[in-house]
Structure 1
Amino acid sequence: MRILITGANRGLGLALSKVGAERGHQILAGVRDLKKSTEGLTQSEIYKSISLLPLDVTDEESVFAAANTVKENFGTIDVIINNAGVLLERDKQIEDLDLDQVKVTFDVNFFGPIRVVKHFLPLLLMGDRSSIINISSDAGSISQAYGGDYAYASSKTALNMFSQQLSQYVQSNNVHVFSIHPGWIKTDMGGESAPGNPFDTAKGIFDIIERKRVIDSRNVFITYEGHSMPL
């Protein structure tokens, strides 16, 4: 399969790119700045199926240009993984929130996936067993709200609704849409104390993409192991 991954040069995105390449998929690794930190995507012969793609999810012109590049060079894609994300204002209470940082959070975590799907969906609909994976979080569960992470949690709740609405729109095309909680994993975002390994999460996500797990497609919000999450 040909798979687009945003935020592919570090953390979970890097793990997804490597696991996908190891499983024989062609990876289009979306990276905001090709001059920074891309060596992990090209350091081994096994990753020769990874193609670097300039892609800034906060810039619609960049997303449009990336979609045109993919169309001209590859024609179609099979999977979109909206992985790019930020966690800002982590320890701020509502009285101290910097609303500009809240806007940045939504621009990346919510509007970013919308921009990507808007411009890449026509390329994905040409397939017959396609998937759209939006990397979410348990923080986006309304029923399990814990009082904090206002910007991040709210952006993930919005992403879950977008995933639900999108799933209804593309279901007749046999496109699966999932909003996936990746677990608390050891990345720049998750921190060194996180118990999870991003490569374990990446393997679980690829099992879902490859349809190795039987998942009711009506369950849009799930864990990386395929278990239903409460909205």
Structure 2
Amino acid sequence: MNLLITGAGRGLGLELTKQAAARGHTVVACVRDTEGAVALREAAEQYPGRIRIESFDIVSETEAQRLADRLKQDAFVLDGIVNNAGILLGRDGGIASLSLDDTRRTFEVNLFGPLIVAKHLTPLLRESESGAEIVVNISSEAGSFSGAYGGDYPYALSKMALNMFSKQLNEELKPRGIRALAVHPGWIRTDMGGQAAPLSPEDSATGILNLVEGTTAVPEETFFVDYAGRPMPL
């Protein structure tokens, strides 16, 4: 498979990239700062020809179009996209102390970024009668309406909106044999999740790639699942 993964420089995105390359897939690994992505460059050396590092800020339509043009020029057709890049801001405090700047920035990255990626890169996805091609939006249990816990407005609201986008995108792409899923990766030990998290990035990435490959089956009517393919409450 030819995969595009955003936020590939560290954490879950880096682990997804390494595991995908180890499984024999070719990965377009997208990061804002290629020079600072030392671990990603080391992975590319470990798996020569399987990891193509691209500089790409997901909130820039201009950069998205340029990336799409480069891939088209190379006749590089995609089988899957993993919108992994995301941020967590303004978690502490309630509505009275909410920073709207943090909220706007969070929506810009967590929602508008995947929208931009989908707009410019899904045209490069193969059409598939088997439904093997896929877009995975890395969401969160925080985006569950039924699980609202008060506060954490920027992150929770952006992920809930991402879930709706995933459903909308799934319905649009379905005639092309392409599926879109919102995936809760679990609480994982990354810079975002912290070291107290119970799940390793390795285990989460393994589960997500099983979803991408279709090894883990998800019922057609389901669009929000966790990394193991278990349905998440809406």
TM range (shorter): over 0.9
Once the 2 structures are TM-superposed, how far is the Cα of residue 74 of structure 1 from its aligned partner? Answer: 3.7
Deviates more, 1:23-32 or 1:42-51: 42-51
* TM-score between both structures, scaled by the size of structure 2: 0.95
- The code of the aligned residue for 1:168 comes to E
Find the aligned partners of 2:99 and 2:199 in 1 and give their Cα distance: 30
Gapped regions of structure 2 (runs ≥ 5) = none
CA gap of 1:32–1:127, structure 2 versus 1, over 3 A, is farther
Verify the 8 A CA contact 1:64 1:119 in the aligned structure 2. Answer: yes
Report Cα offsets for 1:69-96 as digits up to 9, x if no partner: 1111243111010000000001121111
Find the aligned partners of 1:207 and 1:74 in 2 and give their Cα distance: 26
Find the aligned partners of 2:18 and 2:32 in 1 and give their Cα distance: 18
Percent identical among aligned pairs is 46
1:107 equivalent in structure 2 = 108
Find the residue that maps to 2:53 and give its secondary structure. Answer: strand
1:32 equivalent in structure 2 = 32
Report Cα offsets for 1:191-222 as digits up to 9, x if no partner: 11111101111110111111111210221000
1:143 equivalent in structure 2 = 146
Find the aligned partners of 1:213 and 1:141 in 2 and give their Cα distance: 22
Verify the 8 A CA contact 1:6 1:84 in the aligned structure 2. Answer: yes
1:9 equivalent in structure 2 = 9
Report Cα offsets for 1:132-186 as digits up to 9, x if no partner: 0000000000011111210000000000000001111111211121100000000
2:95 equivalent in structure 1 = 94
Find the aligned partners of 2:128 and 2:14 in 1 and give their Cα distance: 25
1:117 equivalent in structure 2 = 118
Alignment of 1:162-181 (within 5 A): 162-181=165-184
2:85 equivalent in structure 1 = 84
Verify the 8 A CA contact 1:78 1:130 in the aligned structure 2. Answer: yes
Find the aligned partners of 2:120 and 2:137 in 1 and give their Cα distance: 15
Aligned length: 230
Find the residue that maps to 2:136 and give its secondary structure. Answer: strand
- The code of the aligned residue for 1:193 comes to A
Once the 2 structures are TM-superposed, how far is the Cα of residue 126 of structure 1 from its aligned partner? Answer: 4.2
Gapped regions of structure 1 (runs ≥ 5) = none
CA gap of 1:27–1:73, structure 2 versus 1, over 3 A, is same
Deviates more, 1:194-203 or 1:45-54: 45-54
- Whether 1:70 and 2:97 are equivalent positions in the alignment is no
Once the 2 structures are TM-superposed, how far is the Cα of residue 47 of structure 1 from its aligned partner? Answer: 2.3
1:131 equivalent in structure 2 = 134
Find the residue that maps to 1:42 and give its secondary structure. Answer: helix
Once the 2 structures are TM-superposed, how far is the Cα of residue 63 of structure 1 from its aligned partner? Answer: 1.1
- The code of the aligned residue for 1:96 comes to S
* TM-score between both structures, scaled by the size of structure 1: 0.96
Displaced runs of 4+ in structure 1, greater than 4 A? none
- Whether 1:198 and 2:197 are equivalent positions in the alignment is no
1:221 equivalent in structure 2 = 224
Find the aligned partners of 1:62 and 1:33 in 2 and give their Cα distance: 13
Find the aligned partners of 1:64 and 1:177 in 2 and give their Cα distance: 21
Once the 2 structures are TM-superposed, how far is the Cα of residue 127 of structure 1 from its aligned partner? Answer: 5.1
